[in-house]
Chains A and B, each alone.
Chain A
Amino acid sequence: MPSNTSSSTPSVLTANLLRTGEVVYLAPGGRWVPRLDDARLALDEDERTAVQETAARYVAAGEIVAPYLMDVRLEGGFPKPASMREVIRASRRPTV
């Protein structure tokens, strides 16, 4: 699974829903949520591996496609996108 992360930064697993294409994030309890705020944080290698394994199961089940890990920074404990690409994706609309 591709990964856009560096090892020292927290990350979040993102993907698109197969049926709609909608951008989603993996949340605690294996739910897929539209808001990055609600995403599950992966803070170390073990957690990154765990969320990737979870994602792979949902890929196999045909619920999501194109999963990958993305870097986030924390603001008040909430994940915020670390790149303009992920800012735009998380906003679910173009900037214009």
Chain B
Amino acid sequence: MYRYDDFDHEFVRSRAAQFRDQVSRRLSGDLTEDQFRPLRLQNGLYLQLHGYMLRVAIPYGVVSSSQLRALADIARRYDRGYGHFTTRQNIQFNWVTLTDTPDILDRLAEVEMHAVQTSGNCIRNVTSDPLAGVAADEIEDPRIWAEALRQWSSVHPEFLFLPRKFKIAITGAAEDRAAILFHDIGLRIVKGKGGATGFAVYVGGGQGRTPYVAQLLRGFLERRHLLSYLEAVMRVYNLHGRRDNLYKARIKILVNALGIDEFARQVEAEWQSIDREALDLPDAEVERITPHFALPPLLRRPATDGAIARRRARDADFDRFVRNNTAPHRIPGYRIVTVALKTPGQVPGDATADQMDALADIAERYSHAEARVTYVQNIVLPHVALADLADLYDRLVADGLASANAGLITDIIACPGLDYCNLANARAIPVAQAIARRFDDPDRAAEIGALRLNISGCINACGHHHSGNIGILGVDKKGTEHYQITLGGSPGDDAEVGTIVGPSFAAEDVPDAIEAIIATYLEQRDSAGESFLEFYRRVGTGPFKARLYGSRSDNAPTRSRVLETTIGG
């Protein structure tokens, strides 16, 4: 993985020192809260429902064993013993104090981490395919370019005060596992004429109050021009993005107001006029970065393993784990393992300090000291020898980390919601827990098959409810927590925003509602081979509505009615 050079080290250390000075000026009264707030936000420190929350960047989700140990150490020493992995491949600590934060930033700097640009109207942590560099379906490793983008966007003087926050995601694989079409800019590595690789550039995707799937801005961009081209996109946005209305400030609003053709024309004009040579990444720099992402030395191993096959045959739990939580590695004889932080009943994405330490040890022992954070709030161990799978699994069982439900109905994304978040309308975590417990039976989950269920505690959609096959949005209905259900969202290549199925449900009725939706699907699907999403696309909301609302007179809600509920909340 990427290792800091002297510049990176110096930058991160000096930012931590600068923040220490800012905190002491705040405490001595030299800075007012109004002066200090933007400074603390620039360092990822929010004031949330219960107190300060620190969001630490995990660049494109790649984390080492020593970094995991530092995160565990921080959780233990400065927090209540746990952290929360987020849908942006970051980690949040919920209980830190202002006075401890400078020490935490120093601790992070020791392991090449920081909290810079995890808040504010700047380019946030670039996210990527958690299987980058190892996926069997990969065209080219996106991390090289994710790292180039990290360097380019870090304290880029022109783009620190954008109209609104800005999120970039990049994938190099055939299958999109980074939800790139729900980002301000989505990048996909593609092959052009003659086999050279470049980028398909998508723009204007996002969730939140006004969800959009990104549109294709340019079908093929030569690799070497990535930075100058994105510079042009950012300049058009920075100049014309609205700053007068918080709700209309994201690039998606600009793209849709101008139309993709006009937006593309303006980007092209800007791009033609700028000095590409000066902005593009020199080949030498690409060559410097690339070796950081070379595969670790993986010994050649047999592509099959008799002992593992025998264990699968006699141990149904292990077999389920291998089936659901592992994927083919580029190198035969290795598997990519997902550690789902989703044991039914747990808080999605939470890991205790002990679990982080355990993950660090496990990654060191079985995965060349490397792990990845996924946007669905799980952890990936990228390089596990097939022959080690049983040992690894036994170790995960011992540490309470062997939940074999990756990609199934209980692998729920949930934002912190009203349990932690200052902006929330309703809780998300207990709803996720109740649903996960309801569908706890692994055979039933297997029968339901691939399903993405996502929950957000408010319209900001950090829990990606819009892109859930089943999405749940917490709303405030006259002071009580209610939940609106959407169907048919998809985060992948066939990205789509879900459709609201009907009036909202009280919290206690949500598991039954999900049960009714699942029963409708299981009873009416063509065959076990028809996924929930395929079924929904064939039949629409009709059968679900009939099941959920029967002859209720209010079973045909309108969008405006729904918006009233959320905006009023």
Interface residues of A (CB under 8 A from B): 16, 18-23, 59, 61-62, 65-66, 82-85, 88-89, 92-96
Contacts and interface: CB of A to CB of B under 8 A. Distances in A.
A65 B98 CA distance: 12
A89 B50 contact: yes
25 contacts: A16-B47, A16-B51, A18-B26, A18-B27, A18-B98, A19-B97, A21-B50, A21-B51, A23-B50, A23-B51, A62-B27, A62-B28, A65-B33, A83-B479, A84-B480, A85-B49, A85-B424, A88-B418, A88-B419, A88-B427, A92-B50, A94-B429, A95-B419, A95-B430, A96-B347
Given A88-B427, A94-B429, 19 more contacts: A16-B47, A16-B51, A18-B27, A19-B27, A21-B47, A21-B50, A23-B50, A59-B33, A66-B33, A84-B418, A85-B424, A88-B49, A89-B50, A92-B50, A94-B347, A96-B419, A96-B427, A96-B429, A96-B430
Contacts of A16: 47, 51
A89 B424 CA distance: 12
B65 interface: no
B529 interface: no
B272 interface: no
A84 to B, nearest CB: 6
B102 to A, nearest CB: 12
Contact of A21 (B28, B52, B418): B52
Contacts of B418: 84-85, 88
Interface string B409-434: 00000000011100010110110010
Interface in B9-36: 26-29, 33
A20 B47 CA distance: 10
A19 B29 CA distance: 12
Q: Main SS of the interface on chain A?
A: loop
A23 B47 CA distance: 11
Contact of B98 (A21, A59, A61, A95): A21
A95 B481 CA distance: 14
A45 B392 CA distance: 64
A39 B26 CA distance: 27
Contact of B419 (A66, A83, A94): A94
A92 B49 CA distance: 9
A94 B27 contact: no
B27 A89 contact: no
B99 interface: yes
Interface in B299-344: none
A19 B347 contact: no
Contacts of A88: 49, 418-419, 427
Contacts of B47: 16, 21, 65-66
B355 to A, nearest CB: 16
A92 B48 CA distance: 12
Contacts of A23: 50-51
A20 B26 contact: no
A11 to B, nearest CB: 16
A54 to B, nearest CB: 17
A95 B51 contact: no
Given A16-B51, A62-B26, A21 B97 contact: yes
A16 B50 CA distance: 8
Given A62-B26, A85-B418, A95-B419, A20 B49 contact: no
A16 B47 CA distance: 9
A73 B336 CA distance: 54
